Chain A
Amino acid sequence: MIQVVDINKTFGDHQVLFDINAQFDKGKVNLIIGQSGQGKSVLAKCMVGLHEADSGQILYDGRDFTVMNRHERSLIRQEIGMLFQGAALFDSMTVEENVGFPLKMFSKMTKAERQKRVDFCLERVNLTGRNKLFPSECSGGMQKRIGIARAISMNPKYLFCDEPNSGLDPKTSILIDNLIKDITIEYNITTVVITHDMNSVIEIGDNIIFIHQGKKWWQGNSETIITTDNPEIGSFVYASEFMKEIRSSMQEKRK
């Protein structure tokens, strides 16, 4: 479980986050959603230490990340897996070297054990046999799946996914969403997904936090987000004509 307590973040004179309090539960897919520029990525980056919060606490199962030194943070980070928006794979390494990199750095596995684990992770994301390819030879969807394989290679307790569906076609997006959901349940990990993809919100959102103007505006799940009458949520969820039609048909059914 991850808890953020009274997180504030300012860049120069511009305050981006205002007293954010939230809880991200274990075994659930926790979504941070919101329009672009509202602070959701900044919140996630504060949570993993890529940005320093001005004040507040970030608790990983009770361990306060904000007061830790570099070495202590390094130990916590070995329990974190992260899928980046652009996958952030190492260009100079093959697929298997990318996936095996955290194992090479931090585990005491032999080469054979490492290879076995890499093969297992690649099989888990349906990329068996693609070991020797370089990231530049892989499609966007494949790169995301390699990113997931790398993120889970160390058996993380916490999985962060920054806009996992950006730049992907709808079918691949669903594949990635399902993969994230399956991994969360299978390994009973705390997953935090930053997204503004409404399909992901409906499909995998066990716990949804809506960030608006740097504040936690609303919290619920994939069912309550459809029915809430919060106007800011409404303008976000029903921004597209497609979603408006879904709302109309739902309202007609209720009548």
Chain B
Amino acid sequence: MLKVVFTKPNKWSVSFDRFMDELQSIGMNSLPIVALMSGFIGGVISLQTASNMSSPLLPDYTVGYITQSSTILEFSPTIISLILAGKVGSNIASEIGTMRVTEQIDALEIMGVNSLNFLVLPKILAAVFFFPILVIFSMALSMTGGWLALVVSNLSTTETYVLGIRAFFDPFNITYALTKTVVFGFLIVSVSAFYGYYVKGGSLDVGKASTQAVVSSSVTILIANFLLTQMILL
């Protein structure tokens, strides 16, 4: 399947237009859910960390440091990707699956259009391009959420939290997180498109394909996360 996806498009200008549409559909439309999740989870991470810090040996800025590292290393790239697997993955599988069962994909093929390339490539490129932007946005919002939760709850000060955020910061962690995100974006779109493209039957089967796409891309993300961590961090 991927061999056919990554062939030369029938017409570059049409594929570019589709890429821009997919940036809107896959990327921009995911901003609200990413913002909501990141803000609240960041707040909860900092509150839980603060509530579990009973040892006087730990400096106060530890809360900020833990919020920063857990957000950058795991929450933003992995958890947000799992959420996107649900939102974007099911959308892709049902969109392409519906096109399959209503013969729209056959119509494309009859016209001489490479349907896999036409439908899937712009989605993959949009995800690979925009998911890292979403994850950077998520990191920023998560740490802001953590700060807001601590300050509002009077558990820390802005200065201490910012000190923690900056403590032991390793820029390579950002590279690691974004590398994971690019791989996850590719996996979500390709796995979901596979289930949608090869669906057989009717609307009931499109629903099943959509569910299978979310489950499979989530499992694939978890396995890839483990392997990438082994390869990059260790």
Contacts and interface: CB of A to CB of B under 8 A. Distances in A.
Interface of A: 48-50, 70, 73-78, 80, 82, 84-86, 88-91, 101-102, 104-106, 160
Interface in B56-110: 98, 102-104, 106-107, 109-110
Nearest to B105: A88
B167 interface: no
8 closest A-B pairs by CB: A77-B112, A88-B103, A74-B112, A88-B107, A82-B110, A78-B112, A84-B103, A102-B111
* B10, B106, B112 pick with most chain A CB within 10 angstroms: B112
A78 B111 contact: yes
A73 B104 CA distance: 18
Contact of A86 (B14, B102, B109, B112): B102
B9 to A, nearest CB: 10
Contact of B109 (A50, A89, A101, A102): A50
B112 A75 contact: yes
5 contacts: A77-B110, A104-B14, A105-B10, A106-B10, A106-B112
Contacts of A160: 110
A122 to B, nearest CB: 18
Contact of A77 (B14, B102, B111): B111
B114 interface: yes
Contacts of B106: 50, 84, 88
Interface of B: 10-11, 14, 98, 102-104, 106-107, 109-114
A88 B102 contact: yes
A162 to B, nearest CB: 9
A88 B11 CA distance: 22
B201 to A, nearest CB: 15
Contacts of B14: 104-105
Contacts of B11: 104-106
B1 to A, nearest CB: 14
Counting chain A CB atoms within 10 Å of each CB, the highest count among B10, B104, B106, B110 belongs to B110
B194 to A, nearest CB: 19
Nearest to B103: A88
A94 to B, nearest CB: 14
Contacts of B107: 82, 84, 88, 90
Contacts of A101: 111
Contacts of B110: 48, 50, 77, 80, 82, 160
Contacts of A75: 112
A75 B113 CA distance: 10
B109 A77 contact: yes
A18 to B, nearest CB: 24
A89 B223 CA distance: 39
A78 B114 CA distance: 12
A160 B106 CA distance: 13
A142 B23 CA distance: 33
Contacts of A86: 102-103
Nearest to A101: B111
Contacts of B98: 91
Contacts of B111: 77-78, 101-102, 105-106
A70 B112 CA distance: 9
Contacts of A89: 104
Contacts of A105: 10-11, 14, 111-113
Nearest to B7: A70
A75 B102 CA distance: 24
A23 to B, nearest CB: 21
Contacts of A80: 110
Nearest to B113: A105
A106 B110 CA distance: 13
B107 to A, nearest CB: 4
